[in-house]
Structure 1
Amino acid sequence: MADSPVLSPAETLTRVDAVSEALARHRYIGSSRIATVVYLAVHLQKPVLVEGPPGVGKTELAKTVAAMLELPLIRLQCYEGLDEAKALYEWKYGKQLLYIQVLKDKIDDALGGARGLRESVERLHGYDDIFFSEDFLEARPLLKALREPQGSVLLLDEIDKSDEEFEALLLEMLSDYQVTVPEIGTIRAAGTPPIVFLTSNNTRDVSDALKRRCLHLYIPFPEPALEQQIIETRVPEITAALRRQLVAFVQGLREMDLRKPPAISETIDWARTLLLLNVDTLDEAWVRDTLNVLLKFEDDVEAVSSQLPTLLRRVNG
Structure 2
Amino acid sequence: MRWEDYRRSDNVEDRRADGGGGGSMFGGSGNLGFGAVVVLGLIGWALGIDPRILISGGAMLANHASKATQSEPARQGPTAAPTDQMGQFVAAVLAENEDVWSEILPEQKGVAYVKPKLVLYSGGTRSACGGASAAMGPFYCPNDQKVYLDTAFFREMKQRLGGGGDFAYAYVISHEIGHHIQNLLGILPKVQRAQARASSKGQANALSVRVELMADCLAGVWAAHAQQKYQILQPGDIEKAVATAQAIGDDQLQKAAQGYIVPDSFTHGSSAQRQQWLNAGLKSGDVDSCNTFAQ
Bin for the TM-score computed over the shorter chain: under 0.3
Given the two structures, how large is their TM-score scaled by the length of structure 1? 0.21
Given the two structures, how large is their TM-score scaled by the length of structure 2? 0.22
Richer in strand (by share): 1
Higher-Rg member (1/2):
1
